[in-house]
Structure 1
Amino acid sequence: MGIAKIQIKILPDHVFPRDVNVLMSRPLVQMLGLVNAPFWITFGSAAETGYFAVTSDRSMVLRVRAQLATRLHLPNTLNLHAQYDINSRHLQLGPMLGIMIDPTPLHDQPTFGNTGKFLEECCQAGMQQGIYLIIFPPEKVSLEKQTIQGWTYMKGKWQRNTVPFPNAIYNRILSRKQEQITSVQTILQRLMRNHRIPIFNEKFLNKQEVYDVLSTDEIMKSMLPETHHFQTSKLKEMVQKYSTLFLKPTNGSLGGGIIRVTRSAPTWIVQSTTNTGILTRKFSKFVELKRALVGRIGKQKYLIQQGLSLILFQKRPVDFRVLVQKNRQGQWSITSSVGRIANDQQIVSNLARGGTIRKANELLSELEIPSKPSIQQIRNAALLIAETFEKKAAGHFAELGIDLGVDHNGKIWLIEINSKPSKSDDSIVANPNMITRPSVKKLLDYTLYLSGVSQTRVPKKKVSKRRLRR
């Protein structure tokens, strides 16, 4: 299979000889391994028949007839990979990665909210890597025409474009409600099943389902806080068993809706987060506690979970977010690890709730506790969790935000797995001189892997379970 990094240049039809729609230099022909025969030329899902002629120059420029470029929806002056398979006589241009975002008006210069900078980096780094990126909302997918309308970032601004279906799609819809809309689910399912487009991070995770899946593995089960569906019978059992409980929405995110119940004889203290701080109520009788919690939760699906005695920094609870992503060999790898310190006016450490962030190794070095794990043990735990989750859970995931807690005995606990992790964590701890954050580089590497434009594959390196022990 021949691979080359090329520049696309679209020229008027009259420039080309009859029955020729692609011009390229002899060095490029030799690098790709092209033969003198018609071949398939594809850009995303679009495919046309190509006929080439050789030019006298030695450039890595693929000159494309305007008529062919129109049929392929091929933009001009792109830097792309060109990959030729001699057996199928198939020349693939790209790959093209689509990033699906929440429904967004198709303005000429969209803002994309807090993800705008991340998406700009994706497009800019993609051009350097020979990957074409298109940012699009689900309502701009045409299943009939097999095209999508969206934006790419070029020459310092967003440009609207219509392109074929991409080679792979990264789901960055950040609203559970939007993702579950019937029309959105229909589009996702048809793209995956009918058009066989790999869509990774295809869905939000359900906390109870994650617990049920991982608890079937003995090593994982030992890292999981005891968790049950919220029922009043379980509430009574759990408040007798543990001094602290957390009640969490099954489909919650960003720390929203979490309730902490603490036993402080002879009362129970119930705390929940609000926009202004912590709302605290006290109850002396279990029946009062039960009535208040049932009234607060209503018909929402909630979990009841064992509270953990996490290590503290300046009297504030600390946990660790490890971003784990698939790399260019399709293997799980660590992208970043940060320590998150809870806001003293909140009960969770999420940045969205006012938590602060530090480099994980620096924070660990400042914690003065008798027993604490090393940063490598925390990272090993995250890798093992990702590998186990992938084996046991349904769905295609290439990026997971894994939240780990450490108790005062140094034991590592799994708090949560997030399939739509924030892009602020690794940008905060990245080298300020970096143009492209680590998570973007890893995203593009995995895109190249999916499309077959990858480095030599190496045997998968598994994390030994022994390495998790202290």
Structure 2
Amino acid sequence: MMYTLKISEKGQRTVWLPSTIHISGQMEVLFGSYSAPCCFISRSDNQNEIIISNDLAKKLKIPFQSHVCLFLDEQSVHLGPLIGIFTAGFKKSNIRPIGKRTFFFAKLLAKEKEVGGFTFIFGAHHINWETGTINGYFYTKNGWEQFEVPFPNVIYNRLPNRRTENEATFQQIKYKLKNEYLIPWFNENFFNKWEIYRMLQNHPSALPYLPETHAHPTEEMVQMMLKKYKHIYMKPADGSLGLGIYEIIEAKDKNSYYCRYRDEYEQNRLRKFPSLSSLWREIFTEKKMTHYIIQEGIPLIRYKGRQVDFRIHTNKNKSGQWQVSAIAAKVAGKGSVTTHIHNGGIVKTLDEIFEHEQERCFVTEKLKKAALTLSHCLEEKIGAAVGEIGFDFGIDKKWNVWMFEANSKPGRSIFTHPKLKKYEELTTTLSLEYGVYLSEQIITNPEAIIT
């Protein structure tokens, strides 16, 4: 339940609670990692308000009046929660403090009024280890403002890319906050394609959705896979945005091979080679194949002659349950090896792809079932808190669903479609709802949290 938190100049070390909350006398009140002894007084009116004396608000470093949740454990009352979003790429600007990503974070933080609590973004240089505080950026009615607040109840990792995430500084910060301060993180790492496949291939519920995949491809492995499937994909295990992906196709006469990819000039290429050996020598000899995977090619359904795949977002809600939060189709650009927008791909709704309602409902249910099944499987195998996943699925000509990729920090490009805007709002709201849920769990039921 949400309450309006107000700060009063009256009284000292006092919190006035609604009459529906039966607490009185001396106890501790907490905000994030900060705590203070105080006196709780139950008010006689029916207002859904929590009032805190100004001296106590300052001591706890509560930045301003807002809407909050209240959680109880055996010895204390927790106000908040305080959710920190960890990222990088800050600029010296009060208008656009995170550069091009400022608008995304503004939309995300604007949702805190709907779920309760305080949400802020911060980077490595905003942490004050000596005082256990963070100079966090809050999105208020006045725009972006910085306030010094305690360490948060939970942290949502929104580092922009794998390179940044793998830097020693960020790894040390995450380790310290997680293991020394016992602050749970969610979506704490980017997914690796091979690691995800390796986890899921041992899960019987996930196995029907997995195309055959192998790590560290060799020319012999490509030959074996082509003999079996006629076309395959080579993908960087840590890739994103469709970069570095190659499609290899064996010609029908088996006397030549085609390779489709995007070159260094960002042009889609289709090249023909007289043999697999000549293709391998020219395209892959100088690449570090230990960073690649090879994957079975799936004969996908098409829209106006072009391949279609599907992006499905799943989120955990305020009850900690998985739900499908967005579905979109992506149509490949002309000559493109992927359906990514920067490769010429086009976002479509399922209504636009499937004109007949019965067919559309059939596909929607298959995609939802696959997404929810795999969300549960991944959470079980990863063994860490996951609040959102973006899946890339394909559907073959026999209507089987295949998982090509799972993303722990899914892109937002599908929401450029005007009919998908409402789902963008839903995904951002659910991310904060899960932060509230995780905070409540760590306070009221800490043994249930996987660390």
**TM-score after normalising by structure 2:** 0.89
| 1:33 maps to 2:22 | yes
Alpha-carbon separation, structure 2, partners of 1:376 and 1:367: 12
- What is the SS of the residue equivalent to 1:208? helix
Letter in 1 for 2:227: Q
| 1:214 maps to 2:200 | yes
Letter in 2 for 1:32: I
Q: How does 1:56-455 map to 2 (within 5 A)?
A: 59-85=47-73, 87-88=74-75, 90-105=76-91, 107-229=93-215, 230-264=217-251, 265=253, 266-274=255-263, 275-298=265-288, 301-365=291-355, 373-426=362-415, 428=417, 437-452=425-440
Instruction: State the Cα distance separating 1:167 from its structure 2 match.
Output: 1.2
Instruction: State the Cα distance separating 1:83 from its structure 2 match.
Output: 3.5
Gaps spanning 5+ residues in structure 1: where?
455-470
Kept after mapping to 2: 8 A contact 1:10/1:69 = no
Instruction: State the Cα distance separating 1:199 from its structure 2 match.
Output: 0.7
Alpha-carbon separation, structure 2, partners of 1:122 and 1:447: 12
Alpha-carbon separation, structure 1, partners of 2:15 and 2:266: 64
- What is the SS of the residue equivalent to 1:186? helix
Tell me which moved more, 415-424 or 276-285: 276-285
Instruction: State the Cα distance separating 1:206 from its structure 2 match.
Output: 0.8
Instruction: State the Cα distance separating 1:280 from its structure 2 match.
Output: 2.8
Letter in 1 for 2:224: E
Alpha-carbon separation, structure 2, partners of 1:348 and 1:435: 23
Kept after mapping to 2: 8 A contact 1:254/1:353 = no
Instruction: State the Cα distance separating 1:400 from its structure 2 match.
Output: 0.4
Instruction: Determine the structure 1 residue equivalent to 2:13.
Output: 21
Instruction: State the Cα distance separating 1:347 from its structure 2 match.
Output: 1.3
Instruction: State the Cα distance separating 1:300 from its structure 2 match.
Output: 5.7
Alpha-carbon separation, structure 2, partners of 1:162 and 1:324: 33
CA RMSD across the alignment: 2.8
Kept after mapping to 1: 8 A contact 2:415/2:423 = no
Alpha-carbon separation, structure 2, partners of 1:72 and 1:424: 39
- What is the SS of the residue equivalent to 2:405? strand
Tell me which moved more, 445-454 or 373-382: 445-454
Instruction: State the Cα distance separating 1:240 from its structure 2 match.
Output: 2.4
Are residues 319 and 366 of structure 1, via their aligned partners in 2, closer, same or farther at CA, if it must alter by over 3 Å?
A: farther
Write out per-residue CA displacement over residues 369-405 of structure 1, whole angstroms, 9 at most, x where no aligned residue. 9x99521111111111111111122432110001110
Alpha-carbon separation, structure 2, partners of 1:372 and 1:5: 40
- What is the SS of the residue equivalent to 1:438? helix
Write out per-residue CA displacement over residues 201-247 of structure 1, whole angstroms, 9 at most, x where no aligned residue. 11011111111111112342232111112123312222322221111
Instruction: State the Cα distance separating 1:34 from its structure 2 match.
Output: 1.7
Letter in 2 for 1:110: R
Write out per-residue CA displacement over residues 246-285 of structure 1, whole angstroms, 9 at most, x where no aligned residue. 1100100110111111112421111211454212332112
Alpha-carbon separation, structure 1, partners of 2:373 and 2:319: 17
Alpha-carbon separation, structure 1, partners of 2:395 and 2:273: 30
Instruction: State the Cα distance separating 1:52 from its structure 2 match.
Output: 4.4
Are residues 139 and 240 of structure 1, via their aligned partners in 2, closer, same or farther at CA, if it must alter by over 3 Å?
A: farther
Alpha-carbon separation, structure 2, partners of 1:353 and 1:227: 24
Instruction: Determine the structure 2 residue equivalent to 1:467.
Output: none
Alpha-carbon separation, structure 1, partners of 2:287 and 2:181: 41
Are residues 201 and 144 of structure 1, via their aligned partners in 2, closer, same or farther at CA, if it must alter by over 3 Å?
A: same
Write out per-residue CA displacement over residues 124-152 of structure 1, whole angstroms, 9 at most, x where no aligned residue. 22023322110112332233422222211
Alpha-carbon separation, structure 1, partners of 2:419 and 2:7: 36
Letter in 2 for 1:47: S
Are residues 292 and 152 of structure 1, via their aligned partners in 2, closer, same or farther at CA, if it must alter by over 3 Å?
A: same
- What is the SS of the residue equivalent to 2:354? helix
Alpha-carbon separation, structure 1, partners of 2:104 and 2:198: 33
**TM-score after normalising by structure 1:** 0.85
Alpha-carbon separation, structure 2, partners of 1:142 and 1:105: 19
